[in-house]
Amino acid sequence: MLESLESNGAGLPRRAQDVPAVFAERFNSGDPQAVRELYEADAAFVPRSGAAVYGGEAIAAENAPFLGLGQPISVRPRHVHVNGDIALLVVDWEVGEHGAQSTVRGTATDVARRGADGCWRYLIDSPFGGTGEPS
């Protein structure tokens, strides 16, 4: 568990800057439900194609191929900008061993929101940061 992480009993981030690290921790657990809990119920996920999908089932389906690689993710936040209960996160990420043939990487541009419970969750997850095709 991350030493500096402020979280409630469910282990969700209590600070916007902790969202990427909590995502990595949950992703690396291999538990799709743990990853899914980091999204708002009606969140958007923007895959490489650029055609956003919405809601838990669709987002779980988009995350499944990444989880299915069975490789760890590493994250390196570039920027976290917070305005009230909304945060913009720009995060470099990499799934797989650095330099390996099967490594997948990108720079995410994400929006997170602090809920009434004080926990931050993804509202928009764009792992390729808008580098895909327009929808």
Q: Give the mean pLDDT of 34-52.
A: 95
16-125 has which fold? Answer: Nuclear Transport Factor 2; Chain: A, (3.10.450)
Rounded distance between C-alpha atoms, residue 125 and residue 109, angstroms: 7
pLDDT-wise least confident of 42-46, 104-108, 116-120, 123-127: 104-108
State pLDDT tens for residues 84-103.
999 999 999 999 876 666 78
Question: What mean pLDDT is reported for the chain?
Answer: 88
Q: Give the mean pLDDT of 46-68.
A: 93
Domain boundaries, the chain: 16-125
Rounded distance between C-alpha atoms, residue 120 and residue 15, angstroms: 7
Sheet containing 73-83, strands listed edge to edge, beginning at the edge strand earlier in sequence: 53-54, 39-45, 120-125, 104-114, 86-95, 73-83
**Closest listed residue to residue 44, CA positions, set 61, 59, 66, 29:** 59
